[in-house]
Every structure is written in structure tokens, then in C-alpha cells.
Structure 1
Amino acid sequence: MSEIRIVVGLHAKPGKADALRRDLAKLVEPSRNEDGNLGYDLYEDANEPGQFVFFEHWESSEAQQKHHNSGEHIRSFHEDGDQNVEARDFVHILKPVRS
């Protein structure tokens, strides 16, 4: 198994930044407590309110997939909070650059 890092960008619908911020913030601690999580951080663009970025670090792609597909808090977000997302601007699965 090899570690995986993911960066996800989400943009709130007009007038829904506060609601999306609240809903996304609720995902952080439960995600950090999942087996295989090495880091899970949420940021908001200082110059563009309503633009959110997750930095995820998992011990394996299997752990990340379990989080994404089976996490109760993720399922709940998709049922309720996802309605405030205008766009998923990017999802990047990162690999290290070795010299």
C-alpha cells in the first residue's frame, strides 16, 4: 500500500457560502478519525469567499475509497449539504515528484 494525497476544490452556490462552510467543517473531525487517515484539512480562499479546498492524506487508496464510499458523514453531506455546491472545480490525486 502507498500513501495517497488528494486536493479537492468546491465552489459554493451564490448566497450559500456560509451554509456550505458549516457543512464542510462538519466533515473534518469524523474524517480525521477514520482508519487510514493521515491528514484532512479544509481551507477557504482568502480572496474568494465560498471557494473551499480540502487537502486529504490517506495511508492507501483503499482507505480513501472506504471514506468516500462508506463514511456516514460523507453520505450525510451528499444527501443534505451537496445542494449548496455550485461546482467541483477540481479533484487532483497527487503523486510525489522525485529527483
Structure 2
Amino acid sequence: MIGIATRAGQQGNGTMANVHILAILYSKPGKEEDLRRDLTTICNASSREDGNIRYELHEDANDQRRFVIIEQWNDAAAQEKHHNQSNHIRLFHDNGDRNVERREIVCFLKPVA
């Protein structure tokens, strides 16, 4: 996940639950292509990491500056390793983050139904 602290979740039976995350980033004006490229690189690398179930990048159909990332991990440990130890995430923070105007929302989701 891009630039937010992690949280672990447990199911009621004490076993570790999958981690579901929704993140929305908004690009700086004129930096849409650069951010799209950087986020596509992150998405491709993250989807190959151990413990990843789903890592998708979407663009708002009505606003090309808004990007939505949907993540699902086997457990909190896999997500934390991704966030804290992945080279591609570190490179984004060092370089690609300059194309982000704001992070609109980052949600750790709990399945309901």
C-alpha cells in the first residue's frame, strides 16, 4: 500500500484474516501519465509478491487524475512486508510520490457479506 501505516486483523476464531485495502491517490496537474506509469509498475511488482491475492489499479472514468488501488493480502504479515520491505514501494516513496497531489482515502476494509 502506498504511504500509510498498517493494521492487522483477526477473525472471530483467532485466525488471521485476509487484509483488504482501498487507496485513492490524486495526481498533480499534468502528472497523470507519470503517476499512471509509476502505479502500474507498483501494481505489476506487488501482484507477484508472496501473500498477494489481489492488487489492482483503476482510473476514475470521470477524472483521469484520480487513481484507485484495490489490494488483498493473505494476512497482515504479508501486507506489512510489502509495505515496509518492498523495493518498488521504497522507490515510489523516493521518486514517484512527487507526482501525487494528495491521498484522498486509505481504508482497511472488513468484509461484511
Q: TM-score, normalised by structure 1?
A: 0.96
Q: Does 1:90 align with 2:86?
A: no
Q: Which amino acid aligns with 1:67?
A: H
TM-superposed CA distance for 1:7, in Å, is: 0.3
Q: TM-score, normalised by structure 2?
A: 0.84
Whole-Å separation in 1 of the counterparts to 2:98 and 2:53:
28
Aligned runs of 1:28-39 on 2, under 5 Å?
Answer: 28-39=43-54
Q: Provide the alpha-carbon RMSD of the alignment.
A: 0.7
Whole-Å separation in 2 of the counterparts to 1:90 and 1:62:
22
Structure 2 residue ranges without an equivalent (≥5)? 1-15
Secondary structure of 2:50's aligned partner: coil
Summarize deviations over 1:23-53 as a string: whole Å, max 9, x none: 1100112101111000100000010011000
Secondary structure of 1:49's aligned partner: strand
With CA pairs under 8 Å and 6+ residues apart, which has the higher RCO, 1 or 2? 1
Deviating above 6 A after TM superposition, structure 1's stretches of 4 or more consecutive aligned residues are none
Summarize deviations over 1:79-99 as a string: whole Å, max 9, x none: 11000000000000000114x
Structure 1 residue ranges without an equivalent (≥5)? none
- Answer 1 or 2: which has greater helix percent: 1
